[in-house]
Amino acid sequence: MKNIQNIKLKPTATIREALAVIDSGAMQIAIVVDDENRLLGTLTDGNIRRGLLSGLSVDGGIKDIYFKTPTVAKMSDTKEEILKVALAKKLHQIPIVNELNCVLGIVEIDELIKPKDKTNRVVLMAGGLGTRLGELTKTTPKPMLHVGNKPILQTIIENFSKYGYTNIIISVNYLSHVIEDYFGDGSTLGVSIEYIHEKERMGTAGALSLMRNLLKEPFFVMNGDLLTNVNFEHLHDFHKSQEAIGTMGVREYDFQVPYGVVNIEDGRISSITEKPTHKFFVSAGIYMLSPKALSLIPDGEFFDMPSLFEKIINEDNKALSFPIHEYWLDIGRINDYEQANSEYYEVF
């Protein structure tokens, strides 16, 4: 949110004064307010040009040319809500007001769209064999299979980069040269990539023991064979605000029993439920961990994420779930791979 002190105008201002304010403010807009700082309207160089073309003098007043019903936002509005309105109405700035309609600042939409670079690292697990995909992974690591027009891993990296997370660590093992040759140092994608080589497969958490010195602040861990459009910034904010040691992205999974379930008490049938559906939460393969979690990981051993979260829980540290309602697909089997290709362009 930008300060508006230097772009304020009173409704009695002249067009000449408005031009000076718009020019000096470098935001291409002026805010018209009353003596109580209540928003009366906005004024752009477009409004001024139309006024001058209609015959007004630069020494004339702005009262007839400023826009008196501007779109505004509240402090409580999320970035997504503001963006949705701005893009729908093709706005470049939106004033922020309080409940009394007093102006608090102004949001520039270009600034909202542009991600702010964050120092938090993203660890991508890309060392698996992908044996369930058969011939597809004989010469290609699963994260490098093309979905849409690019490798799965590239879509993952681009999605993190979209939210400003550009410090990437890729844990590699099987056919690691294919990944390293394709991405290099990441500069072609506008990110920085480092590689950690697992000499033996160490599990989704075990490989983190090889990079302790790199992980000094909360970091993401994600399997390299997932496609999702989850908002990584929301996951980060949730983890940070709750002061968690480990936050696990979870996905609701439904399982329908294909038979009528007979409920029995003391040998007697108490009820029959026809083909009930059971709902569970399962790990989505997306995590955020605080550096403290690294002390719970043994050196040089196979260690997976469920074991790490069990340790976090057993030591009375905070382990939280983050439900993922957005698109999510684990590409583990041939039919998952086919589904991903059929949905890719619609989703991404």
| CATH code (residue 107) | 3.10.580.10
Residue 154's CB: how many other CB atoms inside 10 A? 18
Q: Which of 63, 275, 292, 311 is catalytic?
A: 275
Domain shared by 55 and 138, yes or no? no
Domain shared by 279 and 327, yes or no? yes
In the chain, where do the E strands start and end?
A: 8-9, 29-33, 39-44, 73-74, 93-97, 103-108, 118-126, 146-147, 150-151, 165-172, 192-197, 219-223, 226-228, 246-256, 260-265, 268-274, 277-289, 319-323, 328-330
89 classed as catalytic? no
Residue 123's CB: how many other CB atoms inside 10 A? 25
Domain shared by 94 and 123, yes or no? no
Domain shared by 87 and 174, yes or no? no
Domain shared by 141 and 223, yes or no? yes
Domain boundary residue, one of 80, 97, 113: 113
Domain shared by 298 and 176, yes or no? yes
Contact 281, 323 (CB under 8 A): yes
Domain shared by 165 and 20, yes or no? no
Cα separation, 34 vs 37, in Å, equals 5
pTM of the prediction? 0.68
pLDDT at 332: 87
Domain boundary residue, one of 58, 79, 113: 113
β-pairing, 268-274 with 260-265? antiparallel
Q: Cα 136–137–139 angle (5° rounding)?
A: 105
In terms of residue numbers, what domain contains 193?
118-347
pLDDT at 304: 94
pLDDT at 220: 98
pLDDT at 1: 66
Question: In the chain, helix, strand, coil percent, each to 5?
Answer: 35, 30, 30
Domain shared by 107 and 170, yes or no? no
The count of domains in the chain is 2
| Per-residue pLDDT tens digits for 185-244 | 999 999 999 999 988 888 889 999 999 999 999 999 999 999 999 999 889 999 999 999
Domain boundary residue, one of 113, 137, 169: 113
Domain shared by 157 and 100, yes or no? no
Domain shared by 200 and 334, yes or no? yes
Domain shared by 193 and 85, yes or no? no
Cα separation, 288 vs 312, in Å, equals 13
Burial label, 202 (beta-carbon count in 10 A; 0-12, 13-18, 19+): buried
Residues with pLDDT less than 70, the chain: 1
Write down the H helix ranges in 65-206: 79-89, 109-113, 152-162, 176-183, 203-206
